[in-house]
Amino acid sequence: MKEMNKKKIILTGGGTAGHVWPLVSVYQKMKNDYEVLYLGSGEKKEKEIVERAGIKYKKILSGKFRRYFSLLNFIDPIKVIIGIIQAKWHILRFWPDVIFAKGGYVTVPVGIAGFILGRKLIIHESDSVMGLSNKILSKFSKKIFCAFPIENYPEKIRHKILWTGVPVRPEILTGDRGKAKDIFGFTRDLPTVLFIGGSSGAAGINKMVKEKIDKLLEFCQVIHITGKSDYQKIRKRSLELPQDLQKRFRYFDFVTRELPEIFALSDLIISRAGATTLFELASQGKPVIFIPYPDAASNHQYLNAKILERNQAAILMEEGKTTSEQLVAQIKRLLDNNRAMENLSTNIKKFGKKDSSDVIADEIDKIVKAGRGLL
């Protein structure tokens, strides 16, 4: 028989896997005690991840908030209004104790609808600069969880903020280095370098790998997660390499199950600076060279990486200001300097809070219990 008084939570966030995975990680901590509903944008990957985790999913309309002229700017406010109406309907039917919003445009109609109906709203910000959706919702939220130390956020909202880090998927931490070397057929005598650009790939990073993969393979083994758009270009370049170098190079358009082993095997990682990937690497203490996506909203990837650079927790190299020759030289310098690698590993670990999911779940539960008069 269904428990009538079970605690209830609505999760919302979407557009990218980076918004969804942390919510799923928190859900895993709460699923035994809470009834959960996810309100999302309907984006295919987002819906797939949520439903695979066993969470009930409903789509609502959401409009994008553009900072440039577009005819769609006249249409999207209507979508937001419709989204608020849809969200109010789902909230009234489900009647959650709390709404937890992770970012992305879909959270705005959900958060506003929840506020209108008197539901408690909690938001999480993964980047060092607050995204537009969270800026809007911060006015209505009871609590704000943040990825970086509190001093990186506006002073006027700091009384609401708790530094929790970013929840990471537990399976990311389960890779076995020895097993991974056997899987990929790599030697134990050479270091392994991973290039990763997020779920969509990174054209700038891919271009540098393509130009200098032969030079890189002279002193290391390489795993390259290319994204779908550049996969064939990298494959073609790989087939041009001598046979002995091909054995040191593995490339994929996208990985899921293999990622824990890939992370475990990697000695040095070259990556974009999106928050989810950044904190997955930090939780494992991986030395990283960040090459931020230069067109990210509010330049947030650069600002994320800059904080780590200031704390000697990562190397920052800017796309457009870094040549492929300079990147290869920096990789070689780090691999040849054990002390520098150890320092990067030690310092980045300070940003990786492995208990982030537990902290967030516990804080949400306290707010729910207080609202029910149980504290």
The predicted pLDDT at position 62 comes to 83
- Per-residue pLDDT tens for 212-255? 999 999 999 999 999 888 999 999 999 999 999 999 999 999 88
Q: Is 52 among the domain residues?
A: yes
Domain presence at residue 139: yes
Residues 252-273: tens digit of each pLDDT: 998 878 899 999 999 999 999 9
Inter-residue contact 51 to 33 (CB < 8 Å): no
Q: What percent of the chain has pLDDT over 90?
A: 74
Shared domain for 230 and 180, answered yes or no, is yes
Q: Is 177 in the same domain as 270?
A: yes
Residue 10, strand partner residues: 37, 99
- Candidate from 95-109, 129-143, 169-183, 217-231 with smallest mean pLDDT: 169-183
Q: Which residue has the tokens 């809470």?
A: 34
Span 109-127, average pLDDT = 97
Long-range contacts, 134-143 (Cβ 8 Å, 24+): 134/101, 134/103, 134/107, 136/108, 136/111, 137/101, 137/107, 137/108, 137/111, 137/112, 140/111, 140/112, 140/114, 140/115, 141/101, 141/111, 142/367, 143/363, 143/367
Residue 64: CATH number of its domain? 3.40.50.2000
Instruction: Tell whether 341 and 359 lie within a shared domain.
Output: no
Together in a domain, 223 and 316: yes
pLDDT in tens, 299-356: 999 999 999 999 999 999 999 999 999 999 999 999 999 999 999 999 999 998 889 9
Structural domain range at position 287: 171-349
Instruction: Please provide residue 190's backbone torsions phi and psi, each rounded to the nearest 5 degrees.
Output: -120, 145
Whether 157 and 204 share a structural domain:
no
Contacts within 8 Å (CB) and 24+ apart, 119-122: 119/10, 119/91, 120/367, 120/368, 120/371, 122/98, 122/363, 122/364, 122/367
Nearest to 121 by CA among 87, 151, 75: 87
Instruction: Using the predicted structure, report yes or no on whether residue 3 has a pLDDT greater than 50.
Output: no
pLDDT band at 74 (very low <50, low <70, confident <90, very high): low
Query: Within a domain: residue 325?
Result: yes
Residues 6+ away with beta carbon under 8 Å from 160 = 138, 141, 142, 143, 144
C-alpha to C-alpha distance for 64 and 14, rounded to whole angstroms: 12
Residue-level pLDDT at 199: 57
pTM here is 0.88
Q: Are residues 140 and 248 in the same domain?
A: no
Residue of 21, 3, 22, 26 lying closest to 364 (CA atoms): 26
Write down the residue that tokens 């557009």 correspond to: 15
Note the pLDDT of residue 70.
Answer: 62
Would you say residue 39 has pLDDT above 70?
Answer: yes
182 and 291 in a single domain? The answer is: yes
In a domain, 152, yes or no: yes
What is the rounded distance in angstroms from the CA atom of residue 115 to the CA atom of residue 119? Answer: 6
Report pLDDT for 2: 42
Q: Are residues 176 and 155 both part of a single domain?
A: no
Count up the domains in the chain and report the number: 2
CA 335 to chain CA mean position, Å? 26
- Please tell me whether residues 195 and 61 are part of one structural domain: no
Averaged pLDDT, 194-205: 80
In a domain, 2, yes or no: no
> E strands along the chain, which residues?
7-12, 34-40, 56-59, 98-101, 120-125, 143-146, 161-163, 192-196, 221-225, 249-252, 268-271, 288-290, 315-316
15: left (phi over 0), alpha (psi -120 to 50) or beta: left
User: pLDDT-derived band of residue 38, with 50, 70 and 90 as boundaries?
Assistant: very high
Residues 44 and 65 in one domain: yes
Whether 251 is covered by a domain: the verdict is: yes
> What pLDDT is stored for residue 63 in this prediction?
67
Q: pLDDT, tens digit, for every residue of 120-153? A: 999 999 999 998 899 999 999 999 999 999 999 9
Q: What is the pLDDT of residues 276-290, one digit of tens each?
A: 889 999 999 999 999
Q: Could you give the strand order of the β-sheet that contains 268-271, starting from the edge strand earlier in sequence?
A: 249-252, 221-225, 192-196, 268-271, 288-290, 315-316
pLDDT > 50? residue 24: yes
Residue 118 predicted with pLDDT over 80: yes
> What sign has the CA pseudo-torsion 368, 130, 300, 19?
positive
Helices (H) and strands (E) in the chain, counts: 15, 13
In a domain, 282, yes or no: yes
Q: Let me know if residue 359 belongs to a domain.
A: yes
If phi > 0 it is left, if psi is from -120 to 50 it is alpha, else beta; for residue 361 that is: alpha
pLDDT band at 1 (very low <50, low <70, confident <90, very high): very low
* 218 shares a domain with 244: yes
What SS3 state is found at 312? coil
Q: Are residues 132 and 195 in the same domain?
A: no
Q: Which two tokens stand for residue 41?
A: 């944008």
